[in-house]
A and B are shown apart, each in its own frame.
Chain A
Amino acid sequence: MQAQLPFYPDQASNFAPSVDALMTFLILVSLFFAVAITAAIVFFFFKYRRKSENEVGYPIHGDMRLESLWIIVPAFLSLAMFGWGAVVYVDFRHAPQDTLDIYVIGKQWMWKIQQPNGRREINELHVPIGRDVKLVMASEDVIHDFYVPAFRVKMDVVPGHYNTMWFRPTKAGTYRFFCSQYCGTNHAVMGGWVTVMDPSDYAAWLSGSSGTDSPLVAGEKLFTERACVTCHISNGSGRAPSLNGVYGGTVRLADGSTVTADDAYIRESILVPSAKIVAGYQPLMPAFQGQLTEDQILSLTAYIKSLQSQPIPATGAGVLTTGKK
């Protein structure tokens, strides 16, 4: 168990103990140097005070051994800090498989959050203990940042990009979350509460009410309403590639390069289809830039992600492999 200092906030996620341990290590190293140097200065200050008006100090120009020592020792300590910090960070940036995906949209000055079953929340986030949760985040306007101090996690929410972050809640309770990237007038009130619940409570809460379609259902409706379905025919006979099994796989483009069909690729292909043309197809699709909200793009992505069941049609020249077996 990590010893908690009084200025450490609640530890409520898998990252909290590892970040705090790192903090403790850096505090100890820093304290050592701060105390040692301050003590040396204070000691010299009194010990070598000027005794007579005309006195000069003893001329010492330097010492190679000392110089090497205080280059090499800080270099090794720095490497240790870098390495340990890198381990925690790389873990944070790479979400495990099978996460509970929750969509988060930031806009001036509120957070819209949607659970996998479609239940929506404003400035609140409910998550179950012990489950790996991944937030998929987009912004409607400026850059925001979703920050949960008790989880020791934050990530910028950038317009035009999808950023994700993951964590595993470990302790039931309610914790503050903040917007920590300055986003204009009411930046300071763009926050809310994260509620960490037992899985059974979470399930009960989820089923409590919904009212809105899940992202998947909403996406399927949009797919028809926006006439995507007229070209993206599932058996591959349409003017556009079938989207079955596309998500997570590798797509070959007209220029011969390949790209991984992740959230960012799907998003770009909806908004600016001409950016990356799938090999074997014409650039016919209209651009949806400015015509879909971030919610709608997320819903469409969720629907496309779900289209994994049917086999890849032979004519879908661009699709090389499927993402999930």
Chain B
Amino acid sequence: MSTSPTTPAVHQLPEEHYLNSTYGLRSWLLTTDHKRIALLYLASVTFFFFIGGIFATMIRIHLLTPNGYLVTPETYNKLFTMHGVAMIFFFLIPSIPAVLGNFLVPLMIGAKDLAFPKINLLSWYIYLVGGCFVLYSFATGGLDTGWTFYTPLSSVYSNSAVTPAVIGIFINGFSSILTGLNFVVTIHTMRAPGMTWFRLPLFVWAQYATSIIFILGTPVIAITLLLVGLERMFHLGFFNPALGGDPILFQHLFWFYSHPAVYIMILPAMGVISEIIPTFTRKPIFGYTFIAASSIAIAVIGFFVWAHHMFLTGESTYAALAFSLLSYLVAIPSAVKVFNWTSTLYRGSISYDTPLLYSLGFIGLFLIGGLTGLFLACLGLDIHIHDTYFVVAHFHYIMVGGAVMGYVGGLHFWWPKITGKLYPEFLARMAAVILFVGFNLTFFPQFILGYLGMPRRYHNYPPEFQVLNVMSTAGASILALGYLLPMLYLTWSMRYGKVAGPNPWPATGLEWRTPSPPPTENFDVTPVVDWEAYDFKNRPDLGLTQPSGPALSPAHGDD
């Protein structure tokens, strides 16, 4: 199957694979192949990442000076709103599940496709329709409510194009729900012979947990934003106190989804990291069951922490106490994952390949993001740092430092599988380091700004905050370079990259037992699994030597 890495063979692309089996626009737009749909998603989420990135760039340039010379207050408010909406609903939420999950879940479990291939294509079209409504909103008046759509600002007072935006997000929700449903059914019913639940790659566990949130949470945000639209259009009093509504009700409904949505973004990234670390240390992951179970724990407990966004709305003190305690509870499974990843490095055979650099970067940034989450869950401290730049820094560490690092790392890891080509390794390592440095320079100063008292969503600010803002903007320009580099060399590699071969790293997953790129039907014969996940020891097909060194005591779980 795979050749030994000591005798590098010249690999050839397979004659027929999913990319060249059929040609023409029609063959892509009407495809039901999960791998092609993944690429359709890849193109569309990259588009929205680009749009959101342009807004972010303008925000950071505007904040170079206390009185912001670039745009008017109105435009500034639209920029941060549209940045949030584009990035969260149209990039972060679909990125790993709809691109990498779509491509990999069937391959990893040894299936030919997802359970409902046509519904999978439908999900992408629904995403596109929702995206078009939102782009229409951006183009015709923009959106200035903040991505949180707090009422009654969004439902009564805003003069921007709120209605098309909420319709777009409502529609887009169904795309998430259908993807989640597809994954759950696929993982339950289509695993190859021998692929038991506890042999599943942890990436699949993470996708499963994410899908549960998709299915249970997304309907709530869809309906909530629909209510905002109805209140705006027909003056029905749901949230507007002048009509007998309650603005706080909106926040409960909104965060009931939008807090779990954070786990939609981070869980799949954790799944990616759990694949990369064993591969580049060539050893089983430390504490498989704990990492798998912690994904489910995060998905479940994540539904019971929403009101920690509302400690200062005047909610009851008892509610605040309960939600603070539950928020600390959800921190524990996240901590468990970090400890297990770190322990996996112990006595590994660590290579410095790009995906591993991204994964270690992920751990470092997620660590800071997670620890600062403890600050915000702390009731007494939240009084001061709520709604300041401390919050902005915290959630960027989770969503960008965590989710995006995971996504980009995963793209690098599976790029040879997706395209059959290798990217230029040196450039890729450079980009990973640039991203890590740029990210920290952009967002670390914002923690300090927050504690000093700078509120978020300010188009201008007192002069004493300028130095830290300039540092942040400088970091953002490094960060932008870090994102542009992979876009360029990955695109370049599709045509000019070296042929990768079926298993270049090598890795243990089923997806690496089929040619790169895989054939349309994924596997020539249905694979039979008779090994545990990440088991390098009992896999002579990988062409690796057996472990050496002193034996460990049985207490260490040595098999």
A74 an interface residue at 8 Å Cβ cutoff?
yes
Instruction: Give the residue name and chain of the B residue nearest to A142 (CB).
Output: B153
Q: Quick one: given A66-B339, A188-B459, are A60 and B286 in contact (CB under 8 Å)?
A: yes
Partner of A38, one of B153, B247, B364, B452: B364
Partner of B335, one of A15, A60, A70, A289: A70
CA gap between A8 and B452 in the complex, in Å: 6
**Residues of the B chain whose Cβ atoms lie less than 8 Å from the Cβ of A150:** 453
Partner of A108, one of B157, B338, B360: B157
User: Which stretch (A47-55, A213-221, A227-235, A312-320) binds chain B?
Assistant: A47-55
Whether B545 pairs with A88 at a CB distance below 8 angstroms is no
Instruction: Give the residue name and chain of the A residue nearest to B372 (CB).
Output: A30
A71 an interface residue at 8 Å Cβ cutoff?
yes
Whether B247 pairs with A159 at a CB distance below 8 angstroms is yes
Partner of B383, one of A19, A185, A290: A19
**Residues of the A chain whose Cβ atoms lie less than 8 Å from the Cβ of B324:** 82, 85-86, 89
Instruction: Give the residue name and chain of the A residue nearest to B155 (CB).
Output: A142
**Residues of the B chain whose Cβ atoms lie less than 8 Å from the Cβ of A18:** 380
> How far is the CB of B293 from the nearest CB of chain A, in Å?
10
Whether B282 pairs with A55 at a CB distance below 8 angstroms is yes
Mark out the residues of chain B between 290 and 330 whose CB falls within 8 Å of any chain A CB in the assembled complex.
290, 311-314, 317, 320-321, 324-325, 328-329
> How far is the CB of B316 from the nearest CB of chain A, in Å?
9
**Residues of the A chain whose Cβ atoms lie less than 8 Å from the Cβ of B521:** none
Whether B328 pairs with A82 at a CB distance below 8 angstroms is yes
Whether A85 pairs with B380 at a CB distance below 8 angstroms is yes
**Residues of the A chain whose Cβ atoms lie less than 8 Å from the Cβ of B460:** 188-189
Interface size range on B against A: 35 or more
Partner of A48, one of B242, B335, B349, B388: B349
Whether B549 pairs with A81 at a CB distance below 8 angstroms is no
CA gap between A7 and B448 in the complex, in Å: 6
**Residues of the B chain whose Cβ atoms lie less than 8 Å from the Cβ of A23:** 375, 381, 384, 451
Instruction: Give the residue name and chain of the B residue nearest to A289 (CB).
Output: B242
Mark out the residues of chain B between 330 and 388 whose CB falls within 8 Å of any chain A CB in the assembled complex.
331-332, 335-336, 338-340, 342-343, 345-352, 360, 363-364, 367-368, 371-372, 374-375, 377-384, 386-388
Q: Quick one: given A9-B452, A147-B455, A156-B312, are A66 and B343 in contact (CB under 8 Å)?
A: yes
Q: Quick one: given A90-B317, A184-B153, are A60 and B284 in contact (CB under 8 Å)?
A: yes
Whether A54 pairs with B73 at a CB distance below 8 angstroms is no
Q: Quick one: given A41-B342, A182-B153, A185-B144, are A59 and B380 in contact (CB under 8 Å)?
A: no
CA gap between A158 and B336 in the complex, in Å: 39
> How far is the CB of A196 from the nearest CB of chain B, in Å?
16
**Residues of the A chain whose Cβ atoms lie less than 8 Å from the Cβ of B546:** 56
CA gap between A150 and B464 in the complex, in Å: 14
Instruction: Give the residue name and chain of the A residue nearest to B329 (CB).
Output: A78
A176 an interface residue at 8 Å Cβ cutoff?
yes
Mark out the residues of chain B between 450 and 469 whose CB falls within 8 Å of any chain A CB in the assembled complex.
451-453, 455-462
Mark out the residues of chain B between 168 and 214 whose CB falls within 8 Å of any chain A CB in the assembled complex.
none
Instruction: Give the residue name and chain of the B residue nearest to A74 (CB).
Output: B335
Interface string of A84-96 (1 = CB under 8 A from B): 1111111011100
Partner of A61, one of B331, B345, B368, B559: B559
CA gap between A90 and B383 in the complex, in Å: 11
Instruction: Give the residue name and chain of the B residue nearest to A18 (CB).
Output: B380
A163 an interface residue at 8 Å Cβ cutoff?
yes
**Residues of the B chain whose Cβ atoms lie less than 8 Å from the Cβ of A278:** none
> How far is the CB of A105 from the nearest CB of chain B, in Å?
14
Interface string of A241-275 (1 = CB under 8 A from B): 00000000000000000000000000000001000
CA gap between A210 and B150 in the complex, in Å: 37
**Residues of the A chain whose Cβ atoms lie less than 8 Å from the Cβ of B146:** 182
CA gap between A154 and B156 in the complex, in Å: 25
Instruction: Give the residue name and chain of the A residue nearest to B74 (CB).
Output: A185
CA gap between A280 and B92 in the complex, in Å: 58
B557 an interface residue at 8 Å Cβ cutoff?
yes
User: Which stretch (B47-55, B411-419, B481-489, B536-544) binds chain A?
Assistant: B536-544
Partner of A147, one of B453, B461, B547: B453
Whether A153 pairs with B342 at a CB distance below 8 angstroms is no
Interface string of B135-166 (1 = CB under 8 A from A): 00000000010101010110011100000000
Q: Quick one: given A48-B345, A182-B146, are A86 and B545 in contact (CB under 8 Å)?
A: no
**Residues of the A chain whose Cβ atoms lie less than 8 Å from the Cβ of B347:** 48, 57-58, 60
**Residues of the A chain whose Cβ atoms lie less than 8 Å from the Cβ of B335:** 70, 74
Partner of B371, one of A34, A49, A90, A108: A34
A130 an interface residue at 8 Å Cβ cutoff?
no
Interface string of A185-224 (1 = CB under 8 A from B): 1111100000000000000000000000000000000000
**Residues of the A chain whose Cβ atoms lie less than 8 Å from the Cβ of B364:** 38, 41
CA gap between A182 and B328 in the complex, in Å: 27
Interface string of B213-245 (1 = CB under 8 A from A): 000000000000000000000000000011010
A116 an interface residue at 8 Å Cβ cutoff?
no
Partner of B387, one of A15, A48, A180: A180
> How far is the CB of A54 from the nearest CB of chain B, in Å?
4
**Residues of the A chain whose Cβ atoms lie less than 8 Å from the Cβ of B317:** 89-90, 93-94
Number of interface residues of A (CB under 8 A): 90
Mark out the residues of chain B between 426 and 449 whose CB falls within 8 Å of any chain A CB in the assembled complex.
448
Partner of B455, one of A67, A85, A180: A180
Partner of B4, one of A45, A54, A60, A183: A54
User: Taking each of A51, A53, A61, which has the highest tally of chain B beta carbons within 10 Å of its own beta carbon?
Assistant: A61
Instruction: Give the residue name and chain of the B residue nearest to A7 (CB).
Output: B448
B15 an interface residue at 8 Å Cβ cutoff?
no
Whether B241 pairs with A57 at a CB distance below 8 angstroms is no
A37 an interface residue at 8 Å Cβ cutoff?
yes
Q: Quick one: given A176-B453, A182-B457, are A86 and B380 in contact (CB under 8 Å)?
A: yes
Instruction: Give the residue name and chain of the A residue nearest to B345 (CB).
Output: A44
CA gap between A116 and B500 in the complex, in Å: 77
Whether A55 pairs with B545 at a CB distance below 8 angstroms is yes
Whether B346 pairs with A48 at a CB distance below 8 angstroms is yes
User: Taking each of A8, A30, A48, A85, which has the highest tally of chain B beta carbons within 10 Å of its own beta carbon?
Assistant: A85
A132 an interface residue at 8 Å Cβ cutoff?
no
Partner of B5, one of A53, A82, A180, A189: A53
> How far is the CB of A62 from the nearest CB of chain B, in Å?
4
Whether A153 pairs with B378 at a CB distance below 8 angstroms is no
A98 an interface residue at 8 Å Cβ cutoff?
no
A60-B557, A182-B150 are known; give 18 further A-B pairs, CB within 8 A.
A7-B452, A30-B374, A37-B338, A37-B367, A38-B367, A49-B352, A58-B552, A59-B284, A60-B347, A63-B286, A85-B380, A88-B380, A89-B320, A90-B379, A92-B380, A149-B452, A156-B314, A290-B242
Q: List 21 A-B contacts (CB under 8 A).
A: A22-B381, A26-B375, A34-B368, A38-B367, A41-B360, A44-B345, A48-B350, A53-B6, A59-B558, A61-B286, A61-B557, A63-B555, A65-B555, A67-B336, A89-B320, A89-B379, A108-B157, A145-B387, A149-B384, A178-B453, A272-B244
Residue positions of A touching B, CB distance < 8 A:
7-9, 15, 18-19, 22-23, 26, 29-30, 33-34, 37-38, 40-41, 44-45, 48-63, 65-67, 70-71, 74-75, 78-79, 81-82, 84-90, 92-94, 108, 141-143, 145, 147, 149-150, 152-156, 158-161, 163, 176, 178-189, 272, 289-290
Q: What 10 A-B pairs have minimum CB-CB distances, sorted nearest first?
A: A149-B453, A88-B380, A160-B241, A57-B283, A89-B379, A85-B378, A57-B348, A44-B345, A78-B328, A188-B458
